[in-house]
Amino acid sequence: MTERTNIQALIDKAETTHTLTKDELVTLLQDRQYEAEVFAAADRVRQKYVGDEVHLRGLIEFSNRCKQNCLYCGLRRDNSKVSRYRLDMDTIIDFAVKAKSYGYRTVVLQSGEDEWFDVAKMVEIIKKIKELDLAITISVGEKSREVYQAYRDAGADRYLLRIETTDKELYEKLDPGMSWDNRMRCLYDLKELGFELGTGCLVGIPGQTIESLADDILFFKEIDADMIGVGPFIPNPDTPLADEAGGTFELSTKVMALIRLLLPDINIPATTAMESLNPEGRVLALQRGANVVMPNVTEGEYRQLYLLYPGKICVNDTPAHCRSCITGKITGIGRKVSETHGYRAKRV
Ligand code: MET
């Protein structure tokens, strides 16, 4: 077969059977010539399985304090340049009320790993937000199964915990003091407890190979993740990886498009980090397989203090501005803002 025919056959296989072997994924990840065909196939699969609606999730970044020391993250414990904040409970609830008033049907509560928010405080926050008839996604890192159970019992619907990389050795190098096995344990516990499970990976971290990205994609299928967020690695000057090369927009969206082909009915965000690399990043991502956007609803000075990576977009905007801006972008490409809670479609 000629190269074109071979690549086209792989794309057709992915589009029709939603399966690829590791070698086939590697071939598609390495190819640069027929990327447009991969993106077009992902867009068709997105349209067929989850439709034209885009789900918006209002993101509340409620604490930038973190006990972990991940080398790639601006909020790492050893970064003394960050001025640390922690929102009080009333402020968190207030932001959730406002998120609802902007029309969001889900709030995502995200923070560094901040033990001040113990299980009792989180349960109280979750219960109060549930009274607003919002879906709740929690993203606060690694906890025991019992703690996850308590969040679930309180009404949390979804949990976001990226594996970041399925390469165990690389993971443990980049996340000193953390255990890859424990992160896997967390992901399987969350799935078993009935959360909609969100995970995902970084693209372009130093030491990562194309083969390991293929493993990441196959792992997402294996665990039957309900949402997958892919972010390009963007080196933060205040971290040990300051001088490393970052990931590219093209490869990040390629990984995302392949995930759409293999997990056709899941929710996939057009991530903020993608738009930080390309001014049209979220719209392009929505046309390459994504069907979710997570606008920030954190207000005031806190918005500038939650810098996982430099160049983060919208840090000087208000939540109301972001709401109308993103609506304009979505309708501008002929898509529609969803008015549902946006659970996984499950149409396969
Ligand atoms: N540290 C947590 C995690 O790894 C929370 C999000 S990262 C800012 O998932």
Total number of domains constituting the chain: 1
State both tokens at 82.
Answer: 């960050």
Please report which residue ranges of 223-348 form alpha helices under DSSP H. Answer: 249-262, 272-277, 281-286, 302-305, 319-332
Residue 200 lies in a domain: yes
Residue 342 lies in a domain: no
Residue 191 lies in a domain: yes
Residue 341 lies in a domain: no
Domain of residue 327, CATH code: 3.20.20.70
Residue 115: domain span: 3-336
pLDDT digits (tens, 9 = 90+) for 227-267: 999 999 999 999 999 999 999 999 999 999 999 999 999 99
Residue whose C-alpha is closest to residue 292's, from 347, 337, 231 = 337
| Confidence (pLDDT) at 348 | 47
pLDDT digits (tens, 9 = 90+) for 152-164: 999 999 999 999 9
Rounded (to 5) percent helix, strand, coil in the chain: 45, 15, 45
Question: Measured from the CB, is residue 140 less than 6 Å from ligand 1?
Answer: yes
Question: Measured from the CB, is residue 112 less than 6 Å from ligand 1?
Answer: yes
Closest ligand 1 atom, residue 162 Cα: 9
Q: How far is the CA of 32 from the centre of ligand 1 (A)?
A: 32
Question: Measured from the CB, is residue 63 less than 6 Å from ligand 1?
Answer: no
pLDDT digits (tens, 9 = 90+) for 311-334: 999 999 999 999 999 999 999 999
Residue 38 lies in a domain: yes
Residue 345 lies in a domain: no
Q: What percent of the chain has pLDDT over 90?
A: 97
Asked whether the predicted pLDDT for residue 3 surpasses 60, the reply is yes
Residue 100 lies in a domain: yes
Confidence of residue 2 (pLDDT cuts 50, 70, 90): confident
Name the DSSP class of 108. Answer: E
Question: Measured from the CB, is residue 231 less than 6 Å from ligand 1?
Answer: no
Residue 258 lies in a domain: yes
